[in-house]
Amino acid sequence: MATAGHFLAQGWKVIATMRTPRQDLLPASERLRVVALDVTRPESMAQALQAAGPIDVLVNNAGIGLLGAFEATPMATVREIFETNTFGVMAMCQAVLPQFRERRAGTIVNVTSSTTLAPFPLVAAYTASKTAIEGFSASLQRELGAFDIRVKIVEPGYGPSTSFAANGQQRMQGLIPPPYEAYAHEVFAGFSRVESVTQASDVAEAVWRAANDLSGQLHFPAGADAVALVRNRQRA
């Protein structure tokens, strides 16, 4: 929502997609259309792209969070995470590529996570789904350069002010079994002490930079904590 609002404020025409469309979430504008989209359903993607018409930038922001011990995570849940975070992104990219290739122009911005920048506990399945998109995007950037299509990755940090964790609460029930409870308590306490976090506006601004970047830069960390992780990795 923050990204759509930011682009709208910058004068862009915006196609804001969500599973259940709500017109009241963004300022009313002749440059805004709200369209239904579920990236796990091919028919929904086809209908959304038909409604959108030609586009210049695709932002793949749909994602499912998951926090819990991998040992206790059903494989059905792992597959559900990958269906949205990985296969949904790939499917949307594949769906827009014909129009981008024919015009020899277009930008894909894939939103991943700072969990790809440094190892975090209790998010193994989620990290795997996002790390797959990091490799996918890097390869796709090389593949599509010949058609003047740009591919970018935005890596948001920890965003406690968003509803990301709350939306996954039902899915996470029972994923911290008794043997993991003490350890998980320490991990959660550590999260509560984090001072540098990521705001939704940080991600929106990073997506904006990525969408307008004409260089070969691939990675755009979003938020002070994500930027710090990149710097720490560079010093290692």
Q: Which residue spans within the chain are E strands per DSSP?
A: 14-18, 32-36, 57-60, 107-111, 150-156, 219-222
Secondary structure of residue 53 in the 3-state scheme? coil
Average pLDDT over residues 126-141: 98
pLDDT tens, residue by residue, 190-225: 877 777 789 999 999 999 999 999 999 999 999 889
Q: Which residue ranges form the domains of the chain, and what is each CATH number?
A: 55-235 (3.40.50.720)
Q: Tell me the whole-structure pTM to 2 decimals.
A: 0.93
- Alpha-carbon gap, residue 11 to 115, rounded angstroms: 32
Model confidence at 164, pLDDT cuts 50, 70, 90, reads low
Cα torsion angle, 161, 162, 163, 165, sign: negative
Q: What is the mean pLDDT of the chain?
A: 92
In whole angstroms, what is the distance from residue 110 CA to residue 57 CA? 11
Which pLDDT tens digit goes with each residue over 38-83?
A: 999 999 999 999 999 999 999 999 999 999 999 999 999 999 999 9
- Helix, strand, coil % over all residues of the chain, rounded to 5: 55, 15, 35
CA distance 28 to 8: 10
With CA atoms as reference, report the closest residue to 51 among 39, 36, 29.
Answer: 36
Q: How many Cα atoms within 13 Å fall on the side-chain side of residue 107?
A: 20
pLDDT, mean of residues 15-33: 92
User: What digits encode the pLDDT tens for the residues 93-123?
Assistant: 999 999 999 999 999 999 999 999 998 999 9
pLDDT at residue 89, as a whole number: 98
Q: Which amino acid is at 116?
A: T
Share of residues in the chain with pLDDT > 90 (%): 79
Copy the structure tokens of residue 114. Answer: 């700072």
Check residue 166 and give its pLDDT. Answer: 62
Give the catalytic positions in this structure. Answer: 126
Maximum Cα–Cα distance across the chain: 56
Burial class of residue 201 in the structure, from the number of CB atoms within 10 Å of its CB (0-12 exposed, 13-18 middle, 19+ buried):
middle
